[in-house]
């Protein structure tokens, strides 16, 4: 389960394929599965290096984005949870 | 500064919603001719007469280095073809390189060299989308006429080996003068007798060896008429299990749509009225067996650079020839003398640039081979 201390990390098997206008696709070569990411999600994906907690990611995002909603942390957590559920990322330490 | 909008939206609703109009950063897919060698000499093969048809294949190490670059560029899949890919003794090592660099693959084969060991290995990777095997007849009498004596039984044996290992098989029927009157036999063989879920079709085009053997292999107007009518009828019988992106079945579908648009007096069909017939250069490219990058395996005369010497991303994003081919879609058909007075012009895409080049030595031109007006003028009719 994703906790405040978790530092999620991407599954190295998954390919981040950046297309155009900062949008991207996550591609699982073992299943052919694809998952479209918008630029904010791409930014978060790149933060999943096993060194950042969700709070760290939200803080970094706040410096990069304008009009951050108050409940951004919930959105980020839900997104990372979904990646973990799909096997695209792990909990880290 | 990234704009999150009012809500922090984190994912696209689906890839279908991503309509990418400008070229993507790197190709999604690359067709790789790993060898020029082949154990067969099929009479309509588009190889063996072009500039890339040299007898010097890129060595294993060079391919493996290139696959690392493909991995860095996040290419999703490669189409491994030839020549005959199973002719290379290092095929397993090459597939290893593809898998290691997080890609999937397809193989295009004549089927005759597929062994149990090779199929077992391919299946074990879990990354093979399919192996396409060419089948040009429902019996040796038809198939072997264009592909050589004994090739039918060996190709069918190859298909059986692949199926034993649960590797998806995509049979491809190239319609030519020898088999055009036996399409029902082929469909019965592939769909009923063997039990493949589907097969695809195209036709022997005026390039490569087929150009030399045009009289024997190329389809006449009458042949095309027969092929279109047979395939439409068979596809109805087999519930859409016959596929085509080119050749008589694709032409029949496109031409019926064009005729309907003409009858309804529609101003234009979407993406038509321009040289928009090929979108391949927007998301894929090819590499010849000698390591030269090209826009497409059928446009091997356009040399874009060499693998491991020229940067793939640089070539993909900035090569003037790719840019030129991508801009074909902005050239109105009305600018061509060839299209003057054609009542189908606003419903037409000009079709395949490689076919146009094969016929005219000019790719920025509608393909005469796929021209509905010419077909009708030569006595053909659009199938009902």
pLDDT score at B159: 98
Does residue B205 have a pLDDT over 80?
no
Host H or E run for residue A28: strand A24-28
Lowest mean pLDDT among A17-21, B49-53, B98-102, B236-240: B49-53
Percentage of residues in chain B having pLDDT higher than 90: 81
Find out whether the peptide bond into B83 is cis, omega within 30 degrees of 0: yes
Phi, psi for A33 (deg, rounded to 5): -65, 140
Q: Mutation test of the interface with chain A: which of B2, B3, B6, B8, choosing the one with the most A Cβ atoms within 10 A?
A: B8
What is residue A89's three-state secondary structure? strand
Domain ranges of chain A: 8-86
Q: Is B7 on the interface with A (CB under 8 A)?
A: yes
Q: What is the CA radius of gyration of chain B?
A: 21
Say yes or no to pLDDT of B138 above 70: yes
- Higher-confidence residue of B10 and B163: namely B163
Query: B4 and A35: CB-CB below 8 Å?
Result: no
- Residue A11 CB partners (closer than 8 Å, separation 6+): A87, A88, A89, A90
Q: Is B4 on the interface with A (CB under 8 A)?
A: yes
- Above 60 in pLDDT, residue B370? yes
Give me the residue from A35, A40, A76 closest to B2, CB to CB: A40
pLDDT, average across residues B196-221: 85
Residue numbers in A near B99 (CB within 8 A): 29
Nearest Cα to Cα of residue A54 among A13, A91, A17, A12: A91
The minimal CB distance from B20 to the residues A16, A19, A35 is found for A19
Q: Residue A75, exposed/middle/buried by CB under 10 A (0-12, 13-18, 19+)?
A: buried
Average pLDDT for A56-77: 91
Determine the distance in angstroms separating the CA of B97 from the nearest CA of chain A, rounded to an integer: 13
Contact yes or no for A66 and B102 at CB 8 A: no
Chain B: residue nearest A80 by CA? B10
pLDDT at position B239? 98
- What residues have CB less than 8 Å from B311, skipping those under 6 apart? none
pLDDT for the residue numbered B23: 77
Tell me if B293 sits within 8 A of B238, measured CB to CB.
no
How many CB atoms within 10 Å of residue A55?
13
Q: State the pLDDT at residue B279.
A: 87
* B267 contact A CB<8A: no
Is B3 a residue whose pLDDT tops 60? Answer: no
Residues A71-82 have pLDDT tens digits of: 999 999 999 999
Q: Is B123 on the interface with A (CB under 8 A)?
A: no
Q: What is the reported pLDDT for B8?
A: 53
pLDDT, averaged across chain B: 91
Separation between Cα atoms, residue B245 and residue B25, nearest integer Å: 25
pLDDT band at B69 (very low <50, low <70, confident <90, very high): very high
Give which of B1, B3, B4 to mutate to test A binding, by max A Cβ within 10 Å: B4
A40/B10 Cβ within 8 A? yes
* Region B18-31 average pLDDT: 77
Instruction: Pick the more confident residue, A42 or B42.
Output: A42
Task: Check if the beta carbon of residue B57 is closer than 8 Å to that of residue B218.
Answer: no
Q: How far apart are CA B130 and CA A44, in angstroms?
A: 34
Q: Which tokens sit at B371? A: 């021209």
Q: How far is B154 from chain A (nearest CA, A)?
A: 30
Give tens-digit pLDDT for B262-287.
Answer: 999 999 999 999 999 988 999 999 99
Render pLDDT for A19-46 as a digit per residue (tens, 0 to 9): 988 899 999 999 999 999 999 999 999 9
Q: A67: which DSSP letter?
A: S
The pLDDT of B52-64, averaged and rounded, is 87
Interchain contact B15–A (C-beta under 8 A): yes
Average pLDDT in chain A: 93
Tell me which CATH code domain A8-86 carries: 3.90.930.60
What pLDDT does A5 receive?
87
The whole-angstrom distance between B19's CA and the closest CA on chain A is 10
Question: What is the average pLDDT across B370-381?
Answer: 96
Span B300-325, pLDDT tens digits: 999 999 999 999 999 999 999 999 99
Range among A17-31, A54-68, B44-58, B63-77 rated most confident: B63-77
Decide if B12 and A37 are in contact by the 8 Å CB cutoff.
yes
- A36/B17 Cβ within 8 A: yes
- Select from A38, A44, A63, A88 the residue whose CB has the most chain B CBs within 10 Å, as the one to mutate to test that interface: A38
Whether residues B8 and A40 touch (CB distance < 8 A) is answered with yes
Of A34, A41, A67, the CB nearest to B10: A41
Q: What is the pLDDT of residue B21?
A: 52
Q: Determine contact: B140 vs chain A, CB below 8 A.
A: no
Q: Report the alpha-carbon distance of residue B14 to residue B270 in Å, rounded.
A: 23
Looking at this predicted complex, what is its ipTM?
Answer: 0.92
Measuring CA to CA, how many Å separate B165 from each of B14, B40, B87, B225? 32, 25, 20, 39
CB of B21 within 8 A of CB of B69? Answer: no
Residue B211 has pLDDT above 80, yes or no: no
At residue A71, the pLDDT reads: 92
Predicted confidence band at B39 (pLDDT cuts at 50, 70, 90)?
confident
pLDDT of residue B17: 35
pLDDT at residue number A3:
84
Please, which pLDDT band fits residue B45 given cuts at 50, 70 and 90?
A: confident
pLDDT at B360 over 70: yes
pLDDT, tens only, B284-302: 999 999 999 999 999 999 9
Q: What is the nearest CA distance from A93 to chain B, expressed in angstroms?
A: 24
């Amino acid at each position: 389960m994703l906790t405040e201390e978790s530092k999620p990390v991407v599954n190295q098997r998954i390919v981040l394929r950046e297309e155009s206008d900062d949008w991207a696709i996550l591609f699982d070569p073992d299943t052919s599965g694809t998952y479209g990411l918008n630029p904010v999600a791409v930014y978060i994906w790149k933060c999943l290096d096993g060194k950042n907690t969700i709070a760290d990611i939200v803080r970094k995002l706040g410096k990069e984005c304008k009009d951050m909603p108050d409940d951004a942390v919930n959105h980020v957590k839900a997104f990372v949870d979904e990646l973990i559920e799909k096997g695209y990322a792990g909990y880290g330490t | 500064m990234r704009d999150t909008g009012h809500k922090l939206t984190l994912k696209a609703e689906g890839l279908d919603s991503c309509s990418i109009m400008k070229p993507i950063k790197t190709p999604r897919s690359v067709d790789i001719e790993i060898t020029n060698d082949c154990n067969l000499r099929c009479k309509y093969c588009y190889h063996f007469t072009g500039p890339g048809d040299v007898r010097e294949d890129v060595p294993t190490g060079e391919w493996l280095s290139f696959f690392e670059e493909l991995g860095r560029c996040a290419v999703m899949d490669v189409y491994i073809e030839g020549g005959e890919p199973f002719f290379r003794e290092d095929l397993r090592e090459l597939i290893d390189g593809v898998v290691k660099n997080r890609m999937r693959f397809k193989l295009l084969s004549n089927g005759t060299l597929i062994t149990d060991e090779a199929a077992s290995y391919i299946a074990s990777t879990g990354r093979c989308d399919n192996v396409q095997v060419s089948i040009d007849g429902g019996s040796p009498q038809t198939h072997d006429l264009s592909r050589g004596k004994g090739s039918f039984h060996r190709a069918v044996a190859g298909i059986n080996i692949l199926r034993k290992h649960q590797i998806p098989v995509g049979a491809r029927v190239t319609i030519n003068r020898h088999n055009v009157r036996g399409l029902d036999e082929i469909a019965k063989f592939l769909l009923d007798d063997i039990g493949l879920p589907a097969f695809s079709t195209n036709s022997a085009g005026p390039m490569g060896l087929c150009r030399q053997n045009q009289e024997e292999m190329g389809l006449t107007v009458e042949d095309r008429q027969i092929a279109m009518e047979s395939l439409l009828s068979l596809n109805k019988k087999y519930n859409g299990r016959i596929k085509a992106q080119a050749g008589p079945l694709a032409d029949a579908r496109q031409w019926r749509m064009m005729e309907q648009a003409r009858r309804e007096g529609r101003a234009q069909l979407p993406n038509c009225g321009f040289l928009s017939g090929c979108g391949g250069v927007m998301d894929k490219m090819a590499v010849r067996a000698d390591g030269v990058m090209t826009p497409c395996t059928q446009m091997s005369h356009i040399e874009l650079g060499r693998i491991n010497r020229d940067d793939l991303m640089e070539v993909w994003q900035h090569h003037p020839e790719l840019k030129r081919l991508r801009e074909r879609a902005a050239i109105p058909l009305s600018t061509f003398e060839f299209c003057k007075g054609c009542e189908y012009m606003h419903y037409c895409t000009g079709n395949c640039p490689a076919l146009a080049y094969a016929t005219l030595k000019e790719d920025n031109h509608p393909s005469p081979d796929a021209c509905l007006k010419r077909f009708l003028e030569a006595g053909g009719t659009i199938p009902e």
